[in-house]
Amino acid sequence: MTAVPDEGLASFIERSAAMLSDVGWPRMPARVFIALLVSDSGKLTAAELAETLQVSPAAISGAVRYLSDTQIAVRDREPGTRRDHYQASGPMWQQTMLSRQQLMKRWADALAEGIEVLGEDTPAGTRMAETLAFFRFMEAEMPSLLAKWRERRPEKSD
């Protein structure tokens, strides 16, 4: 896919990006991410992304920087060329879950501090303790879930 997608594909890209936006993704990185996923090659140049999404190169620049910083996409250059291309990183979902796990640990630490300040026997302390228990459960279970995924993950064909 290096040209403007047909109406059905363009609509799919927009709907999928909107769903990602609904859960907190910035809109343009979401659009770029979906465009990368639906491309046949799995990788596109900035110019191809701009053409596909009908946006300016500046919009693509900011979006790919965001996706690169969050390790959702990687920038690469084929030997002998001067053009960078971008592709969704292979273990992007695992990376995303690991980064969320680190964030949950920070939240859990903050909740534990809040419980100390408020007291476990207060209504707010009780609510925070329940939230903390959930985060600690997720923190403990995530490595096992990711290991199960690595065992189950279908082999890549490329």
| Cβ-Cβ contacts under 8 Å for 11 (sequence gap 6 or more) | none
Q: What is the pLDDT of residues 63-109, one digit of tens each?
A: 999 998 888 888 888 788 888 889 887 777 777 777 777 888 899 99
- What is the SS3 assignment for 1? coil
- Choosing among 1.10.10.10, 1.10.357.10, 1.10.3720.10, 1.10.510.10, the CATH entry for 7-88 is 1.10.10.10
Q: What crossing angle do the helices spanning 123-152 and 92-118 adopt, rounded to 10°? A: 160
Extents of the domains making up the chain: 7-88, 92-152
Q: Mean pLDDT, 10 residues at a time, over the chain (158 residues)?
A: 76 95 94 93 92 93 91 84 83 74 87 94 94 92 87 66
Q: What is the pLDDT of residue 26?
A: 95
Say if residues 132 and 116 touch (Cβ distance below 8 Å).
no
Q: What is the pLDDT of residue 12?
A: 96
Q: What is the pLDDT of residue 47?
A: 93
Burial of 41 (0-12, 13-18, 19+ CB in 10 A): exposed
